[in-house]
Each structure stands twice: as structure tokens, then as C-alpha cells.
């Protein structure tokens, strides 16, 4: 397992992913698994330390995870690491992700299923992007949204020759 992580560490992408976890969100495992698939640097979990690891399908063993007790801690980390925070939220004023240029070195920030991002999380973002939706639902599943956002980053910066 250590050899696999060491190999992955040599190829990780410079984007990070964060998700707020204030009500024990069951979608965190899906976000972790998808971050592993797209080789994100780290996944940050804000709020409750406990989450359902079943959805990660054991990828949490190969993906770097970091816990922050609150959004302020995450924002301090992002500033120290010079990561631009990109909120993914279908809020007023959001730039469509389909036309946005994501920062190469960024932290993609997601709210929990249902309430979305907290006001403090939205305020701490340098950019807010939304994902186009055409049906009757107000929002898509946060695990799906995370996959779309990570894939958008890959489309803009990924090395398709490896």
C-alpha cells in the first residue's frame, strides 16, 4: 500500500477538494473515491471527523485526507498553500463551470447534500462556479457535482498522454 501511495504522490495534480460535513454526509465517500480517480492532491473534510467510508471503496487508503474543524481552518490552509478557493454552488452570481477557467492550483469546495455551502464558505471563495442544470431539481448530488468539477479541471490541465 505504501508503494502505491508513493507512486501516486509523484503524479498527483495540484488541485485539492473539500467538502463540508456538518450532518454526517453520506456522499463524502463518493467524493473521496472520485478525487482518487482524478488524482487530487488531498481531500479536506470540514466539520465532523466521522464519515461513511463505504462509498470510498477503499480508495481512502490511497488518497490523502485532512480534517479541519471549521471553514476558517480550511481557508487558512488554502492561503498558506496559495490555493485559490473555488466554490461549486448554484448560487446567484456563479460563473457557469462550462465556460469558467479554473485556477491550476485550486481547492474545489463543496457543501453538504441539501443545504449546500455555508455562508462563511461562500464568502471565503475567490470564485464561485455553477453546473448547468435543465430539469426540475434544484441541485444535483454533491458526489456527482464533485466529479463534474474535477473532470472540468482535468479537461483544462490534465496530461492526456500518460
- Answer whether 150's CB lies under 8 Å from 108's CB: yes
- Regarding predicted confidence, which is higher, 85 or 24? 85
Task: Name the residue among 18, 11, 6 with its Cα closest to residue 88.
Answer: 18
Q: What is the pLDDT of residues 21-67, one digit of tens each?
A: 767 667 899 999 999 999 999 999 999 878 888 878 888 889 999 99
- Answer whether 100's CB lies under 8 Å from 124's CB: no
Cell of 113: 447534500
- Model confidence at 96: pLDDT above 90: yes
Amino acid at each position: 500500500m505504501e508503494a502505491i501511495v508513493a507512486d501516486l504522490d509523484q503524479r498527483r495534480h495540484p488541485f485539492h477538494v473539500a467538502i463540508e460535513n456538518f450532518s454526517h454526509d453520506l456522499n463524502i465517500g463518493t467524493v473521496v473515491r472520485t478525487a482518487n480517480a482524478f488524482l487530487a492532491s488531498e481531500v479536506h473534510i470540514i466539520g465532523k471527523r466521522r464519515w461513511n467510508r463505504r462509498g470510498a471503496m477503499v480508495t481512502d487508503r490511497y488518497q490523502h485526507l485532512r480534517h479541519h474543524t471549521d471553514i476558517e481552518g480550511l481557508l487558512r490552509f488554502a492561503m498558506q498553500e496559495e490555493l485559490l478557493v473555488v466554490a461549486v454552488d448554484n448560487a446567484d452570481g456563479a460563473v457557469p463551470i462550462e465556460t469558467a477557467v479554473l485556477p491550476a492550483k485550486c481547492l474545489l469546495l463543496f457543501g453538504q447534500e441539501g443545504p449546500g455551502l455555508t455562508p462563511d464558505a461562500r464568502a471565503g471563495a475567490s470564485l464561485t462556479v455553477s453546473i448547468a442544470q435543465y430539469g426540475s431539481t434544484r441541485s444535483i448530488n454533491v458526489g456527482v457535482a464533485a466529479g463534474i468539477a474535477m473532470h472540468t479541471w482535468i479537461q483544462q490541465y490534465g496530461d492526456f498522454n500518460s
